[in-house]
Structure formats: C-alpha cells, structure tokens
C-alpha cells in the first residue's frame, strides 16, 4: 500500500495542503485564502476560525477520492509567533495577533528592563521583538485584562489547527523557539523566563521534536476533513524551519534565502550559538539535534505586493501580475539609475529591530519610471537580505551557495539579483514551500524516511541556477548607500511614529 504524507501550512494569506508520496513527488495540492485585518496602524490580526475553515476545505480536497486511506502521517507548519488565546473549553477569546504586528514595542522594552539582554540571550537565544509571542501576551494583560483572565491555553497558529484536528495541545521545538518563552539551547520551555514574566506555566502546550508524533486525528475532525480517524500528526515546525527542510537545508553546505511575504536568510548550526547582540534569531531546527540562525526582514514579497496594489493597472486581479511586473523591471539596468528603496513598510526586524522604520524611495528623478520603481523594490529587498547574510558571515558561516525559495524565487530576475548582490551562486529548488517540508517531516515520524536529512536529500530537486554576473561589481556601492540611508533616517522614523500615534 502507498505511504503518502500530508503537509498543511497555515500561512498569512491562506492555508495550503499537499500530498506527497514516499518518493517525494507531489500528488495533490489545494489552497484556500483568507484576509488579514489591520484595525490600527502597525496592527495585524486574523480570526483563527478562518484558518480552520480554510484547512478543512483544503484537506478535504486533497484527501478526496479515497486518498485518505494512504496518508501515513500529517505534518503541520505555518506562520510563526502569532498569539492564539483559548478559554477552558477551547474557544477562541480574541483574534490572533500576528507575527508582523508591531503594537507591543513598549512591552518589549519592559521585558528587556526586567530580564536584560544577556539573560534573554542565555535562556532564549534571542532578544525580544514585537513580533514574538510573549510581548503580545503582556500587551493583552495590560490592555485587555478581561480577555487575559479568561485565558486557559496559549497556542501558535499551526497548533490551533492541531487542536482542532486532534483535541490535543502541543507544539514543536522549532515553532516554540520564536515565543521568547522557550529555552532554545535545552529545547524546552524556559521556567526562568516564564516565572519572570508571570505567565502561568499551565497555559503553555506540551512540546516535542518536529518529527515526533504528537497526537492523532480525532473522530470529529475525521468527519470534518475526510481524514482517517487515528492518523498520526507529528510535531511539525514553524514555516521557516519546514521551508528549509523542503529546500534541503539540513546541513551547513548551503544557506536558504526565502522571499515570501517576509524575507528570511537561514543557516544551519550543529550546536547552539546565538549571535552576541541578538540581531539574528537562534532557533531549534526541525531536524533533531540541529539549530539554525535566521535573519528576518518583515516585508520582502510584502513590499512587492504593496507596490503592485499601489501602481495597479488591473494587475491585482491577473494571475500573471508579478510576471508582468518583473518583465518591466528587467528593462532597467542594475542600480535603477540611482534609485534605492528601503523595504521597511512594516517596520524591520533584522538587523535593526525597529518597529518605527518605514519604506522610502530615495533618488527619484524625472528619469525614473514605473519600471524603475519595480526593480528598485526588488533590489531593496535583496539589500535587506544581504544585511542578514553579512551578519552570518561575521560569525564564520561561509554559505558557499544559496538556495532561493518562496514566491519570489519564481522570478528569474530576482534570482539573478540575489546572485549578484550576494556574489555567490544561487540554486532554485522545486518549491512548494513550508507545506512540502512539513510533509517530509511527517514522513520521518511515520518511518517512511529514516531521517529528515535522508528525506531532504532524496526528495528535493534543483530546477534552476544563477551565477553572479557583471552587476555584482556595481552593487557593493549601492549597498553602502542603502545602509547609510537607514542610519540617516532613524531618528526621523521615530518622529513620524510619534506624530501618527
């Protein structure tokens, strides 16, 4: 009998479900979308019930036609850091506060004063940022005390779907690493941090390694999704860790650059070594026994989508909108004839951790056209990703090649820009994102694959390459200007934030 694997990705814009066979070949894919609410400037929320409805529909579609009898295990992944608060019967108390929400900057400052950066890095591997879960929880405690008092469980987005599928409260070491409540070095909840922040320990779910079986599909969920009751559900992982497994980033021979809504640079470590100033995230990998360092920019593909919506000539409703935009950008020379874009339209995380930073076009002239604006956004995103790569290089991580994943990896132009800006060869894999990696992780739990390393090496296929070209000689000067611009504008970003608040 075939042994197929189901990966489910609870993303920012929708749920993706896909079925993978024991050879890593994709057999079925389904997606369902949903909106994100921004009730105030810098806020971002979603109703978890939208995720569950979308997950039900997507799973039903891929499991139709009797495929569910072949599913050996389910792997879950999704957007990290989101705060889902449940009452004692398991009902959602308030909308989830998402990873890109910036409202809790004040709570981050309080945590830093109470605990200190040194202790935070020692216990969690990371500084505390508004996107992380703990400061969001403190914000609710201070601003919505009635909701806080009703709370019985705190979950991450994909783990809410696990709860609806199994009735169990669990998370995994990779996703828990981004909560500011997890001891990343020891791969367990940090009793020290939890006590210092006065968060009830009973609110936190159980935690397991990513390939370990955490729970099983309940009879009720089986009726709602078409899955077999009793199908195992593994721990899974946050989207970046699973994306890395799906791209074959399971050792130090390559780093990953992901251009999704956010932008990520990801490199593997064989031991826990956080960056001394907390500018890079140090998280557990979805591969047991490994960790990873990760730099995150908040608006990579998000900046591109913002530009599409602002300058739309009807593209927003076209399936080839991004392809048309990048074709325009290809007509513009590298450097955009002196136009530089700062991609901080949602604030920034790495390397500045500045929720007040904002997007900027610098150098606009009558010479510049819509095509220049498009290419400037693509180059600005690449410069922002290079900030993270340079921090990794400063720690001795060579990353002799880059694997590019995410929606932006479909653009040949963006592939070449990354190769030129980073000055290293780029590989593009057959990429179905974090859901594919989650399916491979599920295969380890179901013993379809002996290990995550074996799964990635046998299933991941390279479909394209790009080498640094002549533009790699001019980008360093533009990058220096890009870096200087933030330093020049940092105080003005703070002034604007005070004015708009």
Residue 316: predicted pLDDT: 55
What is the pLDDT confidence band of residue 1, given thresholds at 50, 70 and 90? low
Domains of the chain and any CATH numbers: 4-247+431-462 (3.30.420.40), 301-427+469-500 (3.30.420.40)
Alpha helix (H) ranges present in 85-238?
105-115, 117-124, 133-143, 145-150, 157-166, 173-176, 191-196, 219-225
- Tell me the three state secondary structure of residue 491: helix
Over 70: is that where the pLDDT of 49 sits? Answer: yes
Residue 65: predicted pLDDT: 87
Query: Mean of the per-residue pLDDT values for the chain?
Result: 94
Over 90: is that where the pLDDT of 142 sits? Answer: yes
What is the pLDDT confidence band of residue 90, given thresholds at 50, 70 and 90? very high
Residue 317: predicted pLDDT: 58
The active-site residue out of 101, 239, 354, 356 is 239
Over 90: is that where the pLDDT of 91 sits? Answer: yes
Over 90: is that where the pLDDT of 500 sits? Answer: no
The reply to whether the predicted model has a pTM over 0.85 is: yes
Nearest partner of 243 among 186, 184, 292, judged by Cα: 292
Residue 85: predicted pLDDT: 98
State how far the Cα of 91 lies from the Cα of 243, in Å rounded to an integer: 30
Polymer length of the chain: 501
Taking residues 336-363, report their average pLDDT.
Answer: 94
Note if 431 is an active site residue: no
CA atoms within 13 Å, Cβ hemisphere of 18: 21
Over 80: is that where the pLDDT of 285 sits? Answer: yes
The first and second tokens of residue 388, run together, are: 């993270």
């Amino acid at each position: 009998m075939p042994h197929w694997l189901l990966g489910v990705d609870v993303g920012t814009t929708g749920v993706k479900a896909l079925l993978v066979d024991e050879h890593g070949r994709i057999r079925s894919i389904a997606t369902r979308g949903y909106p994100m609410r921004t009730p105030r400037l810098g806020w971002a929320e979603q109703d978890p019930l939208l995720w569950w409805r979308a997950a039900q529909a997507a799973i039903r579609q891929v499991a139709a036609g009797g495929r569910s009898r072949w599913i050996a295990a389910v792997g879950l992944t999704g957007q990290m850091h989101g705060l889902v608060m449940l009452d004692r019967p398991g009902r959602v108390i308030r909308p989830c506060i998402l990873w890109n929400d910036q409202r809790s900057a004040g709570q981050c400052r309080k945590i830093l004063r109470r605990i200190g950066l040194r202790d935070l890095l020692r216990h969690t591997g990371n500084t505390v940022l508004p996107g992380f879960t703990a400061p969001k929880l403190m914000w609710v405690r201070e601003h919505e005390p009635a909701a806080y008092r009703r709370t019985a469980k705190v979950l991450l987005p994909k783990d809410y779907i696990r709860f609806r599928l199994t009735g169990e409260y669990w998370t995994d070491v990779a996703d828990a690493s981004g909560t500011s409540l997890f001891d990343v070095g020891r791969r367990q909840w940090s009793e020290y941090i939890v006590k210092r922040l006065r968060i009830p320990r009973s609110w936190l779910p159980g935690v397991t390694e990513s390939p370990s079986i955490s729970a099983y599909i309940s009879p009720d969920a089986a009726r709602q999704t078409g899955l077999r009751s009793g199908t195992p559900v593994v721990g899974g992982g946050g989207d970046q860790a699973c994306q890395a497994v799906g791209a074959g980033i399971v050792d130090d021979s390559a780093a990953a650059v992901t251009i999704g809504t956010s932008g990520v640079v990801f490199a593997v470590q064989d031991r826990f070594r956080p960056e001394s100033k907390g500018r890079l995230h140090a998280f557990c990998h979805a591969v047991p026994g490994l960790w990873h360092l990760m730099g995150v920019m908040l608006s990579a593909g998000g900046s591109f989508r913002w530009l599409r919506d602002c300058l739309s000539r009807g593209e927003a409703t076209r399936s080839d909108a991004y392809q048309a935009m990048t074709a325009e950008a290809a007509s513009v020379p590298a450097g955009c004839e002196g136009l530089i874009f700062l991609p901080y339209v949602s604030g920034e995380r790495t390397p500045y951790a500045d929720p007040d930073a904002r997007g900027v076009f610098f150098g606009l002239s009558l010479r510049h056209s819509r095509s220049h604006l498009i290419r400037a956004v693509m180059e600005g995103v690449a410069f922002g990703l290079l900030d993270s790569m340079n921090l990794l290089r400063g720690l001795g991580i060579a990353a002799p090649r880059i694997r590019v994943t995410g929606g932006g990896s479909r653009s040949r132009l963006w592939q070449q820009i990354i190769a030129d800006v980073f000055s290293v060869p780029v590989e593009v894999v057959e990429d179905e994102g974090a859901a594919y990696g989650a399916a491979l992780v599920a295969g380890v739990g179901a013993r379809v694959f002996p290990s995550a390393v074996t799964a990635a090496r046998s299933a991941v296929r390279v479909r394209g390459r790009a080498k640094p070209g002549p533009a790699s000689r001019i980008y360093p000067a533009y990058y220096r200007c890009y870096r200087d611009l933030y330093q020049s504008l940092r105080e003005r970003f703070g002034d604007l934030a005070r004015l708009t608040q």
